[in-house]
């Protein structure tokens, strides 16, 4: 009876054999095989690392973009109106503070009011 480990080993040996026959690796010298498999390992490792590091961010970005396209901007009209109202209030407060400062400076220097 075959164990799962034995079946996997046999499958892996078959895949290595298919790779060697299809790409002509079986005619390489041992040094050439080492270089070939090292480059192959490096390429697969870098691809795997890039996938693990960047794919979740990219998928999240695509999901957020699709959500925006389907539902529009997340800002509520009431929130924007409240922000505009507070901005106007701040501008009015700053304007009145500047007027008060100008009057104070004019009074302190003896100039006529502005």
Percent of the chain surpassing pLDDT 90: 52
Residue 102 and residue 114 in contact, taking contact as beta carbons nearer than 8 Å: yes
Q: Please, are residues 98 and 109 in contact by the beta-carbon 8 Å criterion?
A: no
- Same domain? For 64 and 91 the reply is no
Same domain, 53 and 89: no
**Do 68 and 79 reside in the same domain of the chain?**
no
In a shared domain, residues 82 and 68:
no
Identify whether the C-beta of residue 74 lies closer than 8 Å to the C-beta of residue 66: no
The rounded percent of the chain whose pLDDT value lies above 70 is 90
pLDDT for res 77:
63
Distances (CA, A) of 58 to 46, 51, 53: 17, 10, 10
Q: Are 47 and 23 within one domain? A: yes
pLDDT score for 113: 53
Whether 68 and 86 map to the same domain: the answer is no
Phi then psi for residue 28, to 5 deg, are -75, 155
By mean pLDDT, which of 5-9, 46-50, 102-106, 110-114 is the weakest? Answer: 110-114
The domain boundary residue, chosen from 57, 73, 89:
73
In the chain, the number of structural domains is 2
Report the b/e string of 53-72 with b at 16+ CB within 10 A. eeeeeeeeeeeeeeeeeeee
Note whether 91 and 113 are same-domain residues. Answer: yes
Judgement on whether residues 42 and 86 belong to the same structural domain of the protein: no
pTM above 0.95, yes or no: no
64 and 51 part of one domain: yes
pLDDT tens digits, one per residue of 59-103 = 999 999 998 888 877 666 677 677 777 777 777 777 787 788 778
* 62 and 6 assigned to the same domain: yes
Q: What is the domain range of residue 87?
A: 75-114
- Residue 75 is encoded by which pair of tokens? 């800002």
């Amino acid at each position: 009876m075959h164990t799962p480990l034995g079946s996997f080993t046999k499958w892996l040996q078959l895949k290595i054999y298919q790779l060697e026959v299809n790409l002509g690796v079986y005619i390489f010298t041992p040094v050439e095989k080492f270089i070939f498999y090292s480059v192959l390992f490096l390429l697969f490792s870098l691809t795997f690392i890039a996938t693990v590091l960047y794919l979740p961010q990219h998928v999240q970005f695509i999901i957020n973009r699709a959500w925006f396209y389907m539902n529009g901007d997340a800002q509520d009209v009431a929130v924007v109106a409240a922000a505009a109202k507070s901005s106007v209030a701040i501008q009015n407060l700053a304007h009145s503070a500047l007027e008060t400062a100008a009057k104070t400076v004019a009074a302190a220097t003896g100039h006529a009011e502005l």
